[in-house]
Amino acid sequence: MREIDLEYHIIGEGKQTLVLETGIGNSFYSWIPFVDRIKNDFTVILYHRAGYGKSGTSPEPRTTANIARELNDLMEHLQIDRFLLAGHSFGGLCAQAYARMYPGKLDGVLLIDATSHNFQRLYDLNLPVMYSMISLEQLIEDNEEIAGKSRAELEEWYKERNRELLGEDEAFLTNPVLYQTIADEFTNWSASSEEIKNGEAFPDIPLIVFARDEEFSAKPYIAYGIPEEEALLHEKVWRELQVVIAQLSEKGKLVIAEGSDHEVHKDRPEIVVECLHRLKEGQVPRST
């Protein structure tokens, strides 16, 4: 595997290093307001995976194992031997893969409503309306279609949707390579899950898992036209998967983020900050 030139940004000068793994299609620029809350106590490393932002592309399939290897190359380049790793959504699945592959590098892991390697359970549910509107196949197809546009076409595409693009956000979102990378990450979800299931066990290191509020998160689905019973069933199983993730480590704890949807670090940043400080101190909160 060749080393990839990855875009990164370092904020803060705390003794504890924290690396953030973003969700699928998300920029690290969106994390800056959160990082401002913790920059006095942590040295935070924000980075873009291959194919995101100003990072180079990779010839390797976009599996979580390959993403973990590329992150490890970056950590070695920066001469960082130990750190905390936080992952949101698909970034949480990448973080789980990293922890299994490089357990000796981590002081702890914080997962923010992370994707489960058992995510197929969600797609096996009888949710005909939801999956007629939101399916994995449709996500792949949509992103591949967007990837075929030019930068100029993407700028116009966002304007038509009344999306205001500013600064780095514009450069990030109008890069066609991003959307092909997103499609590739979605395409390799199953392969990533199988690699994780057949790989090393998750280490017994401090692990905090944030799970979104079931009823709160069901509301946007219902507003989108998905039947309430389908939305509630989907959220029930998503929660069950979060419980399983928290059980991966004997030092794992589940934290329910009441009043929060998927982006807990935006909806309830104060509890994420509190738990990061607990990890920094070698503690974990009680399960809730």
Q: What's the rounded Cα separation, in Å, for the pair 277 and 42?
A: 9
Torsion angles phi and psi, residue 62, rounded to 5: -85, 60
pLDDT in tens, 70-89: 999 999 999 999 999 999 99
Residue 283's pLDDT is 65
Its pTM stands at 0.94
Residue 171's pLDDT is 87
Asked if 114 and 202 count as a contact pair (C-beta separation under 8 A), the reply is: no
Per-residue CA distances from 51 to 9, 12, 63, 135, 208 (Å): 16, 26, 13, 23, 28
Residue 288's pLDDT is 44
Architecture of the domain whose range is 8-125+188-280: 3-Layer(aba) Sandwich (3.40)
pLDDT in tens, 243-285: 999 999 999 999 999 999 999 999 999 999 999 999 988 766 5
SS3 88: strand
Residue 226's pLDDT is 96
Give the pairing type, strands 8-11 and 42-47: antiparallel
In the chain, what are the domain boundaries?
8-125+188-280
Q: What's the rounded Cα separation, in Å, for the pair 269 and 263?
A: 9
Residue 287's pLDDT is 45
Residue 9's pLDDT is 97
Q: Which residues of the chain have pLDDT under 50?
A: 287-288
Residue 166's pLDDT is 60
